[in-house]
Amino acid sequence: MITYQFISALSDAAPQSHLIAAASCTYLPETALVAEMRESASIADTRFGCAPFARITLLPDALWQDSLSEGLLTALRPLLASPASPELILDVTDIDDVVLAQVLRFLFNQAHRLSDLKLKQTDESAVRLTHITALCLPEQQAKLEGIFRQQQAIARGMVAARRLADIPSDRCTPQFVVEEAQRLCAAFPALRCEVLNEKAIAEQGLGLLHAVGKGATCPPRLLALHYDGVNDGPVRCYVGKGITFDTGGLWLKEGAGMYTMKYDMCGAANVMGLMLTIAELAMPVRIMGVLALAENAIGPDAMQPGTVATACNGTTVEINNTDAEGRLVLADAIAWASQRHPQARYIIDMATLTGAVVKALGYELSGLMTQDEPLRAALTLAGKQSGDEVWSLPLDARLKKQTDSAIADLCNTPTNNAAISASAAWLLHHFCPPTIPWAHLDISGTALWRENGRSVASGRPIPLLVEHLLGDI
């Protein structure tokens, strides 16, 4: 765990720390080295002649106020890839609140790296960040203590989600996810787990989840995480797509498209991480998180194009593309959640659902689709406040023809290959009663962090959802 403290004078910092500050910071020592570093128009960094520090990095003042392009994070990533010291001093005397939240989440997320999975021989003696010292004004400390505590809890949830998502799919099966969630939730008395195995899934009529998972040797699961921070009040529901590996089924993906498909369960992993954060912050709310877990595999029992399956709300769906499986498991989970809590305050689902949303919005924005305007406004605002932003895509009856089927109530993909992301959301909206506000987050672009041609789980949109929840209590 990465710890933190606050100081108002650099003399109180641990020796041999890495000092990162704005170029104009007035707390810096008045030395010839610092004076020369201040003259730089870009990043000024040194490990020489900077005693009592192990390293000094001065970053342009503008970066500390830039929440839009994440300029400060971009500068910090290479610095923290190989830390000079386990102790970091961060200048927070003059920093934008959103930038601070982004930076703190990044720093606390250093608690997890791929090497922690122990699947690769690594240098165990390598330096890791273990402590953050915040340089602040005395009058800032009370406010900062709340921000640090909140962002540390958010980061812990993100780390739990990232660790789970990064595990290779031959290990991270639906049952493995269940057992990992049970292990992590055991630390919080307010959290409890409810599990539906493949028999219960069939008995309760979750025909879409069953159809997706029945082709795999690892059977599907539905995992509900219940949090009771108060004894009564409306239940807020979160639903996550948990395809532990997606071959595309009989609609087989090409090899390049299949490589990162262990991450097709990031939605479910993020629901789990969100629940852990909520429990750590002891929020006074009632929450249910639903993880729809299945492997979309090829086998004698795999669903076939043209299959008609029935969801737990009685809606039939023609499966005309077995590689559009995520919306099927989500549809059943949304319907199941709405039946468990027909008076739910809202249902928000999240999924690495469509590559089309990446083409539309890139890697920085999650796609938001909803017909509930107050929920849209609240999520959009929470995105701006947290630095984990969303962008709305249309969702109305003009998409109806995209899910028309001649043989069933709905088909799972449009035959014209148009408006893929919004069409998927239009399918999903049929499974949430109109009396419950519902929103869909397509996180295909944001659920992963991509760097140097490699992808790892990011833990988004946990920051967005925590910020939204804090504003809704």
Predicted confidence (pLDDT) per residue in 394-415, tens digit: 999 999 999 999 999 999 999 8
* Sheet of strand 410-411, all strands in order from the earlier edge strand to the far edge: 307-310, 316-319, 410-411
- Residue 384 token pair: 């701006």
Give the model confidence (pLDDT) of 332-382 as tens digits.
Answer: 999 999 999 999 999 999 999 999 999 999 999 999 999 999 999 999 999
Confidence of residue 41 (pLDDT cuts 50, 70, 90): confident
String of DSSP letters for 297-359: --STT---TTEEEE-TTS-EEEES-TT--HHHHHHHHHHHHHHH-TT-SEEEEEE---THHHH
Neighbours of 232 (CB within 10 A): 7
Sign of torsion over alpha carbons 384, 389, 390, 391: positive
Q: Provide CB contacts within 8 A for 193, sequence distance 6+.
A: 178, 181, 182, 185, 223, 224, 225, 226
Model confidence, pTM: 0.96
Q: What is the pLDDT of residue 417?
A: 87
**Which of 253, 340, 345, 384 is an active site residue?**
253
Instruction: Report how far apart, in Å, the C-alpha atoms of 69 and of each of 289, 406, 417 are.
Output: 31, 47, 32
CB 443 within 8 A of CB 460: yes
Q: Provide CB contacts within 8 A for 244, sequence distance 6+.
A: 169, 172, 173, 174, 176, 177, 218, 262, 264, 265, 293, 294, 295
Does the pLDDT value for residue 260 go beyond 80? yes
How many angstroms separate the CA atoms of 64 and 200, rounded? 52
What's the farthest any 2 CA atoms get from each other in the chain? 79
Give the model confidence (pLDDT) of 315-340 as tens digits.
Answer: 999 999 999 999 999 999 999 999 99
Query: Does residue 52 have a cis bond before it (omega within 30 degrees)?
Result: yes
Instruction: Report how far apart, in Å, the C-alpha atoms of 457 and of each of 103, 220, 365, 448 are.
Output: 17, 22, 15, 4
User: Which 8-state DSSP code applies to residue 54?
Assistant: S
How many angstroms separate the CA atoms of 93 and 91, rounded? 6
Instruction: Report how far apart, in Å, the C-alpha atoms of 217 and of each of 179, 198, 296, 447 are.
Output: 18, 12, 10, 27
Confidence of residue 40 (pLDDT cuts 50, 70, 90): confident
Burial 396-409 (b: 16+ CB within 10 A, else e): eeebeebbebeebb
Give the model confidence (pLDDT) of 111-134 as tens digits.
Answer: 999 999 999 988 888 899 999 999
Catalytic: 327?
yes
**Which of 156, 162, 236, 327 is an active site residue?**
327
CB 4 within 8 A of CB 132: yes
How many angstroms separate the CA atoms of 253 and 239, rounded? 25
